[in-house]
């Protein structure tokens, strides 16, 4: 896996501040991270450590206050057509964010038609193919409200995949799910990882991380505390902060 | 309302047969069933039903309510022929303006119907050129601009002079005609336009001092006098006889067999006097005859040819071959034994014309013969002298003198048509410009002509609401922008307009903005447009707030999901956020629509005859405030209830499954 490839995501000294009534929160405080094509990176860390912010900065849902992020050779800051970059970066949200007024199929077809300008038949074919891939071909005509959490999240993954992205970002994809539905989502993600998709996953699913991730990153207070192979990081962390965190969640 | 309950209600109820052993349960009685059915209906259906029944009951029983409703709905007739008020420009005015009257060697005569001439504008053109060809219908000139063929019936003036041995002709002819009037019928090919409206007066018989029947001696309306031998066509039957008495309603005939017959004048389809019949040889009719030519006239031997020649001189419109028969040319009289022989001889060219005057059987025989023998070469130039259905009368009233046709007469009243309606058929292919076409009278078969009362209220409301939706959506979208300028502009609009009474906004639109627009841009806004603008502008602020709330009610994650898929902000708005927001705002939007329908009553300050204004006019005219305002209120209520029903249905249709 570790061929000398040019990183597809290059994060250099990223800073991000949020201004609230109670003062300024330094969500990212000089984060640097390189992710190579095909690499699967899991980011763990306590709440408020900036891991979700980092993810959202990668497709510029949030803009940086300092430093730079380059995705697939395009510097995000001042990128003229951010929508082109976003189309190459699929994102899966904790709350699914499916379009409630469209069927599962409609959710997957919409962006293909609007952004990729695919013909209707082509988009439908692709949507059906992806629904089969995530294991719910029979739910094509169901509305999100009629689906379970796990099914919704799988539709969301299919929706992102329909754009044929080069990178997939997962923002705590299983945190809002009942425990028994977590596995069906993780299975889909595992399959994706094995197919060589570049993935950045914010998750506390150690099992998934061990099975699929090339690298695990531990973040706290807006900085990367340490990064290593998942097995090493989880079983034998070098930092005290990491040890403390892991002892709480395990 | 519970869906389940209603579904069960709509299914036929199968009652179990009466059970003697019985479990004590009795099937529900009809009264109970009606109560159950009523309870299953939604509340608005109950109100709607009660109101509808009440209104129907009032309309059926009370003349006063019927009148109010009529007046509030723009007094619709059940049917009308006044479809549109039109002004049409016709390029080839043949058959409209002129009537080719005849010609001599030097000039062409065109009779322009005076009456039509006053209601039809014409534009005339003068052309000068050399005569190239001439036939009975047209003249062809060679002019500087090429060949021009002009139908003779369009020529109004003609001058001829010799220039260098050639005859140069200057013709003034009618190029275009403006026809204005009321469109009464339209087919694929023609348009019937009423250019002169019928004018009539109804007056009490007691006002009549004297009544004189005008002897119908006019050329165009020859009457039939007592003692004349007449022919009457009545529902397919032809009756001939001597006219005994002629009143405005009846006539009596002495039939040849000695009997007398009474005929109602209104039943008569055609009524004419056998008069001098002129039949022409078709070729002679087309030929110009000069004074010195020989004119051969055929006649039937036992008829009075001398009297016929005298009659010929009294004709207003002498056919060409006979024009010089009174002494200027040599007249050869040829007698034949029977009418058939005479006709055949005329057709064969032995005679130029046939003159036939008979007290007995009428000219109908000649007409029939000509029709039956189309190849005989006989032409009939003059129509029969036709009696008018109703002869004109001059009525001297105690304060006025009227002349016209009596349309009907009862013991108490008389209706006199003083001006007859005039109609023109236009060939649609010849219309070069449709200058004006406005809806005509309000009637059930012409609803587009209804524009006052309830119709105006509905039209203004729909137009204003449509515009308000656009304004509201625009400012609502601005209200959720992060750009401070856009946000400030939209907030300013919302706050200012929301803080001013709608009545003030309407007055502002009508008396401040509209005159400004007229002065600045030269655009004249109609009262209705001012009202629509005012209402839309005033309601736009409320609708903007509704849209803002709707958009903000959609979670931010939706837009983020859309953006993360590569959609632009407008695309995300258009395809993801707005469709969801519209579902959310449908109920308040429906509310606002109903509110606007009610507030449209304010437009009466702009002197618009809306529902309320007509109601007030009715009340001030009749002092029947109770019926007047009751009806206004009920009509508004019916409309709003109906609309809330429609909004409800739309809401249900757009509800998402869950």
Chain A residues within 8 A of B655 when measuring between CB atoms: none
Structural domain includes residue B89: yes
Q: Does the CA dihedral B494-B500-B503-B504 come out positive or negative?
A: negative
pLDDT digits 0-9 by tens, A100-125: 999 999 999 999 999 999 999 999 99
Cα–Cα distance, B618 to B614 (Å, whole number): 6
Could you write out the DSSP letters of every residue in B375-439? GG-EE--S--EEPPSS-EEEEEESS-EEEEEEEEE-SSEEEEEEE--EEEEEEGGGEEEEEEEEE
Looking at the structure of chain B, the number of domains it has is 4
Lowest-pLDDT range of A79-83, B236-240, B544-548, B563-567? B236-240
Q: Specify whether B584 is located in the same domain as B460.
A: yes
DSSP state, B480? T
**Percentage above 90 pLDDT, chain B:** 22
Q: Specify whether B523 is located in the same domain as B409.
A: no
Q: Specify whether B167 is located in the same domain as B187.
A: yes
pTM over 0.90: no
Structural domain includes residue B71: no
Q: Are B567 and A115 an interchain contact pair (Cβ–Cβ within 8 Å)? A: yes
Treating both helix axes as pointing N-terminal to C-terminal, what angle do B43-61 and B63-72 enclose, rounded to 10 degrees?
110
Q: Specify whether B126 is located in the same domain as B212.
A: no
- Say if residue B638's pLDDT is above 80: yes
Q: Which of B608, B629, B651 is the last residue of a domain?
A: B608
pLDDT digits 0-9 by tens, B103-133: 555 555 555 554 455 556 677 777 788 877 7
Q: Are A93 and B575 an interchain contact pair (Cβ–Cβ within 8 Å)? A: no
**B416, B405 contact by CB (below 8 A):** yes
Q: Are A111 and B568 an interchain contact pair (Cβ–Cβ within 8 Å)? A: no
Q: Helices marked H in B109-150 — which ranges?
A: 114-119
Treating both helix axes as pointing N-terminal to C-terminal, what angle do B611-622 and B63-72 enclose, rounded to 10 degrees?
140
Question: How do B392-397 and B401-409 pair as beta strands?
Answer: antiparallel
Q: Are A91 and B567 an interchain contact pair (Cβ–Cβ within 8 Å)? A: no
Q: Which pLDDT value is given to residue B303?
A: 75
pLDDT digits 0-9 by tens, B622-633: 888 888 898 899
Domain membership of residue B206 as a residue range: 199-235+399-420
Q: Are B579 and A101 an interchain contact pair (Cβ–Cβ within 8 Å)? A: yes
Q: Which residues is B199 bridged to in the sheet? A: B419
- The CA radius of gyration of chain A, in Å to the nearest whole number, is 18
CATH code, domain with B296: 3.40.190.10
Q: Specify whether B95 is located in the same domain as B231.
A: no
Structural domain includes residue B642: no
Treating both helix axes as pointing N-terminal to C-terminal, what angle do B30-40 and B3-10 enclose, rounded to 10 degrees?
140
Specify the residue for token string 């869906």.
B3
Q: Which residue has the higher pLDDT, A191 or B164?
A: A191
Cα–Cα distance, B214 to B388 (Å, whole number): 12
Q: Count how many residues are written for chain A.
A: 250
Question: How do B294-300 and B378-379 pair as beta strands?
Answer: unpaired
Q: Which pLDDT value is given to residue B532?
A: 95
Q: Specify whether B120 is located in the same domain as B185.
A: yes
- pLDDT tens for chain A, 250 residues: list them: 445 578 899 999 999 998 888 888 888 998 999 999 999 999 998 888 889 999 999 988 888 888 899 998 888 887 778 888 888 899 999 999 999 999 999 999 999 999 999 999 999 999 999 999 999 999 999 999 999 999 999 999 999 999 999 999 999 998 888 888 898 899 999 999 999 999 999 988 888 888 889 999 999 988 999 999 998 888 888 889 999 988 887 6
Query: CA-CA-CA-CA torsion for B276, B279, B284, B286, nearest 10 degrees?
Result: 90
Neighbours of B118 (CB within 10 A): 10
**B150, B141 contact by CB (below 8 A):** yes
Q: Specify whether B88 is located in the same domain as B191.
A: yes
Chain A residues within 8 A of B581 when measuring between CB atoms: none
Q: Specify whether B592 is located in the same domain as B463.
A: yes
Chain B residues within 8 A of A100 when measuring between CB atoms: 580, 656
Task: Count A/B contacts: CB-CB distance under 8 Å.
Answer: 70
Cα–Cα distance, B386 to B213 (Å, whole number): 17
Chain B residues within 8 A of A84 when measuring between CB atoms: 566
**B587, A125 contact by CB (below 8 A):** no
Cα–Cα distance, A41 to A70 (Å, whole number): 17
**B153, B183 contact by CB (below 8 A):** no
pLDDT digits 0-9 by tens, B418-455: 887 777 777 788 788 887 888 888 888 777 888 888 89
B553 touches chain A (CB under 8 A): no
Structural domain includes residue B261: no
B569 touches chain A (CB under 8 A): no
A243 CA: distance to closest CA in chain B (Å)? 34
Q: Which pLDDT value is given to residue B169?
A: 82
Q: Which pLDDT value is given to residue B1?
A: 42
Compute the average pLDDT of residues B61-65. 79
**A30, A223 contact by CB (below 8 A):** yes
Cα–Cα distance, A227 to A225 (Å, whole number): 7
SS (H, E, C) B37-78: HHHHCCHHHHHHHHHHHHHHHHHHHCHHHHHHHHHHCCCCEC
Structural domain includes residue B293: yes
Of A97, A98, A108, A110, which to mutate for an interface test with B (greatest number of B Cβ within 10 Å)? A97
Q: Specify whether B464 is located in the same domain as B521.
A: yes
Phi-psi region of A79 (alpha: psi -120 to 50; beta: other; left: phi over 0): beta
Q: Are B656 and A145 an interchain contact pair (Cβ–Cβ within 8 Å)? A: yes
Cα–Cα distance, B68 to B73 (Å, whole number): 9
CATH code, domain with B512: 1.10.3720.10
A→B contacts (Cβ < 8 Å), by residue, are 59, 61, 83-84, 86-91, 93, 95, 97-101, 110-111, 114-115, 143, 145-146, 156, 159-160, 163
Structural domain includes residue B495: yes
Structural domain includes residue B170: yes
B525 CA: distance to closest CA in chain A (Å)? 41
Tell me the ipTM for this assembly: 0.91
Q: Are B564 and A86 an interchain contact pair (Cβ–Cβ within 8 Å)? A: yes
Q: Specify whether B181 is located in the same domain as B206.
A: no
Cα–Cα distance, B140 to B122 (Å, whole number): 22
B7 CA: distance to closest CA in chain A (Å)? 24
**A162, B567 contact by CB (below 8 A):** no
Q: Rounded to a whole number, what is the distance in angstroms from the first to the last CA of chain A?
A: 28
Listed ranges B219-228, B236-245, B565-574; the one with the highest mean pLDDT: B565-574
Compute the average pLDDT of residues B538-544. 95
Q: Specify whether B582 is located in the same domain as B487.
A: yes
Listed ranges A57-61, B202-206, B316-320, B470-474; the one with the highest mean pLDDT: B470-474
Q: Which residue has the higher pLDDT, A223 or B300?
A: A223
Compute the average pLDDT of residues B392-400. 81
**B246, B226 contact by CB (below 8 A):** yes
B495 CA: distance to closest CA in chain A (Å)? 27
Residue B559: which pLDDT band, with cuts at 50, 70 and 90? very high
Residue B8: which pLDDT band, with cuts at 50, 70 and 90? very low
Q: Are A115 and B571 an interchain contact pair (Cβ–Cβ within 8 Å)? A: yes
Treating both helix axes as pointing N-terminal to C-terminal, what angle do B625-654 and B578-599 enclose, rounded to 10 degrees?
180
pLDDT digits 0-9 by tens, A185-196: 999 999 999 999
**Percentage above 70 pLDDT, chain B:** 79
- Tokens for B563, please give them: 């953006």
Could you write out the DSSP letters of every residue in chain A? ----PPPSEEEEEEEEEEEETTEEEEEEEEEEEEE-TT-EEEEE--TTSSHHHHHHHHTTSS--SEEEEEETTEESTT-TTHHHHHHHEEEE-TT----TTS-HHHHHHHHHHHTS---HHHHHHHHHHHHHHTT-GGGTT--GGGS-HHHHHHHHHHHHHTT--SEEEEESTTTTS-HHHHHHHHHHHHHHHHTT-EEEEE---HHHHHHH-SEEEEEETTEEEEEE-HHHHHHS-SSHHHHHHHHHH-
Mean pLDDT of chain B: 78
Residue B64: which pLDDT band, with cuts at 50, 70 and 90? confident
Q: Could you give the C-alpha distances from B600 to B76, B354, B435, B463, B530, in angstroms and in order?
A: 22, 75, 33, 11, 12
Q: Are A93 and B579 an interchain contact pair (Cβ–Cβ within 8 Å)? A: no
Q: Which of B196, B222, B244 is the last residue of a domain?
A: B196
- Say if residue B18's pLDDT is above 80: no
Smallest Cβ–Cβ distance between B575 and the set A88, A114, A159 belongs to A114
- Tokens for B224, please give them: 């039939």
Smallest Cβ–Cβ distance between B566 and the set A83, A97, A98 belongs to A83
Cα–Cα distance, B150 to B142 (Å, whole number): 11
Q: Specify whether B279 is located in the same domain as B366.
A: yes
- Phi/psi at B546 (5° precision): -65, -45
Cα–Cα distance, A45 to A202 (Å, whole number): 9
Q: Which pLDDT value is given to residue B163?
A: 76
- Say if residue B10's pLDDT is above 70: no
B571 touches chain A (CB under 8 A): yes
Q: Which residue has the higher pLDDT, B342 or B114?
A: B342
Chain A residues within 8 A of B563 when measuring between CB atoms: 61, 83, 86
Q: Which pLDDT value is given to residue B304?
A: 74
Chain A residues within 8 A of B576 when measuring between CB atoms: 99, 110
Cα–Cα distance, A151 to A143 (Å, whole number): 11
Of B557, B561, B568, B578, which to mutate for an interface test with A (greatest number of A Cβ within 10 Å)? B561
Q: Which residue has the higher pLDDT, B372 or B271?
A: B372
CA angle (B390 as vertex; B388, B393 as ends), nearest 5: 110
Structural domain includes residue B257: no
Q: Which of B347, B363, B396 is the last residue of a domain?
A: B396
């Amino acid at each position: 896996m570790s061929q000398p490839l040019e990183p597809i995501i290059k994060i250099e000294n990223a800073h991000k501040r949020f201004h609230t009534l109670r003062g300024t929160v330094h969500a990212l405080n000089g984060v640097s991270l390189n992710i190579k094509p095909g690499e699967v990176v899991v980011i763990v860390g306590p709440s408020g450590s900036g891991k979700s912010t980092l993810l959202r900065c990668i497709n510029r849902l949030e803009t940086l206050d300092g430093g730079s992020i380059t995705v697939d050779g395009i510097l995000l800051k001042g990128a003229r057509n951010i929508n082109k970059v976003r189309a190459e970066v699929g994102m899966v949200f904790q709350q699914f964010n499916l379009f409630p007024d469209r069927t599962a199929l409609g959710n997957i077809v919409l962006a293909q038609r609007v952004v990729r300008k695919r013909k209707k038949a082509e988009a439908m074919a692709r949507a059906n193919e992806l629904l089969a891939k995530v294991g719910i071909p029979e739910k094509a005509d169901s509305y999100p409200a009629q689906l379970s959490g796990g099914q919704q999240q799988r539709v969301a993954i299919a929706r992102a995949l329909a754009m044929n992205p080069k990178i997939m970002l997962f923002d705590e994809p299983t945190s809002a799910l009942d425990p028994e539905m977590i596995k069906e989502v993780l299975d889909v993600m595992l399959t994706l990882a094995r197919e060589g998709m570049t993935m950045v996953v914010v998750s506390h699913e150690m099992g998934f991380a061990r099975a699929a991730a090339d690298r695990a990153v531990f973040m706290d207070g807006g900085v990367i505390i340490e990064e290593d192979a998942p097995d090493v990081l989880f079983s034998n962390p070098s930092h005290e902060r990491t040890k403390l965190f892991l002892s709480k969640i395990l | 309302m519970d869906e389940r309950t209603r579904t069960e209600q709509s299914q036929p109820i199968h009652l179990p047969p009466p059970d003697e052993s019985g479990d004590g349960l009795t099937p529900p009685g009809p009264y109970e069933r009606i109560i159950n059915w009523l309870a299953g209906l939604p509340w608005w259906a109950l109100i709607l039903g009660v109101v509808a029944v009440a209104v129907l009951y009032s309309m059926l029983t009370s003349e006063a309510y019927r009148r109010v409703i009529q007046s509030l709905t723009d007094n619709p007739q059940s049917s009308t022929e006044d479809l549109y008020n039109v002004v049409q420009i016709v390029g080839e005015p043949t058959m409209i303006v002129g009537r080719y009257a005849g010609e001599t060697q030097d000039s062409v005569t065109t009779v322009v119907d005076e009456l039509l001439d006053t209601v039809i504008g014409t534009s005339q053109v003068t052309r000068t050129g050399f005569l190239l060809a001439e036939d009975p219908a047209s003249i062809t000139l060679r002019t500087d601009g090429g060949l021009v063929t002009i139908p003779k019936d369009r020529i109004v003036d003609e001058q001829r002079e010799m220039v260098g041995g050639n005859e140069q002709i200057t013709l003034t002819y009618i190029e275009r005609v403006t026809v204005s009037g009321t469109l009464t019928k339209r087919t694929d090919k023609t348009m019937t336009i009423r250019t002169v409206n019928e004018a009539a007066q109804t007056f009490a018989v007691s006002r009549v001092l004297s009544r004189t029947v005008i002897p119908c001696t006019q050329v165009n309306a020859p009457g039939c006098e007592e003692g004349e031998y007449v022919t009457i066509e009545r529902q397919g039957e032809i009756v001939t006889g001597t006219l005994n008495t002629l009143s405005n309603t009846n006539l009596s005939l002495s039939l040849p067999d000695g009997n007398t017959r009474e005929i109602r004048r209104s039943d008569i389809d055609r009524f004419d006097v056998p008069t001098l019949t002129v039949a022409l040889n078709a070729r002679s009719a087309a030929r110009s005859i000069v004074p010195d030519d020989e004119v051969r006239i055929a006649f039937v031997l036992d008829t009075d040819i001398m009297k016929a020649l005298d009659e010929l001189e009294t004709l207003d419109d002498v056919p060409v071959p006979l024009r010089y028969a009174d002494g200027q040319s040599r007249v050869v009289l040829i007698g034949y034994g029977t009418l058939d022989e005479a006709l055949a001889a005329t057709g064969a060219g032995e005679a130029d014309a046939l003159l036939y005057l008979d007290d007995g059987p009428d000219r109908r025989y000649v007409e029939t013969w000509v029709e039956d023998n189309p190849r005989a070469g006989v032409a009939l130039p003059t129509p029969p002298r036709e009696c008018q259905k109703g002869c004109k009368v001059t009525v001297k009233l105690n304060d006025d003198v009227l002349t016209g046709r009596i349309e009907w007469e009862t013991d108490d009243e008389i209706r006199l048509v003083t001006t007859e309606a005039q109609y023109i058929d236009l060939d649609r292919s010849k219309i070069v410009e449709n200058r004006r076409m406005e809806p005509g009278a309000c009637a059930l078969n012409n609803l587009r002509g209804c524009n006052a009362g309830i119709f105006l209220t509905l039209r203004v409301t729909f137009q204003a609401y449509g515009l308000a939706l656009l304004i509201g959506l625009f400012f609502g979208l601005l209200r959720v922008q992060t750009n401070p300028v856009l946000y400030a502009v939209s907030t300013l609009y919302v706050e200012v307009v929301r803080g001013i009474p709608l009545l003030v906004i309407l007055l502002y639109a009508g008396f401040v903005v509209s005159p400004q627009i007229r002065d600045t841009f030269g655009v004249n806004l109609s009262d209705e447009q001012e009202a629509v603008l005012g209402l839309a502008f005033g309601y736009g602020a409320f609708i903007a707030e509704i849209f803002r709330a709707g958009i903000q009610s959609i979670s931010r994650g939706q837009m983020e999901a859309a953006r993360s898929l590569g959609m632009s902000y407008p695309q995300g708005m258009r395809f993801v956020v707005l469709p969801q927001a519209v579902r959310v705002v449908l109920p308040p939007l429906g509310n606002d629509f109903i509110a606007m329908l009610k507030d449209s009553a304010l437009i009466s300050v702009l002197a618009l005859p809306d529902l309320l204004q007509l109601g007030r006019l009715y009340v001030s005219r009749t002092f029947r405030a109770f019926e007047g305002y009751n009806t206004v209120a009920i009509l508004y209520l019916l409309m709003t209830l109906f609309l809330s029903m429609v909004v409800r249905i739309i809401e249900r249709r757009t509800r998402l499954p869950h």
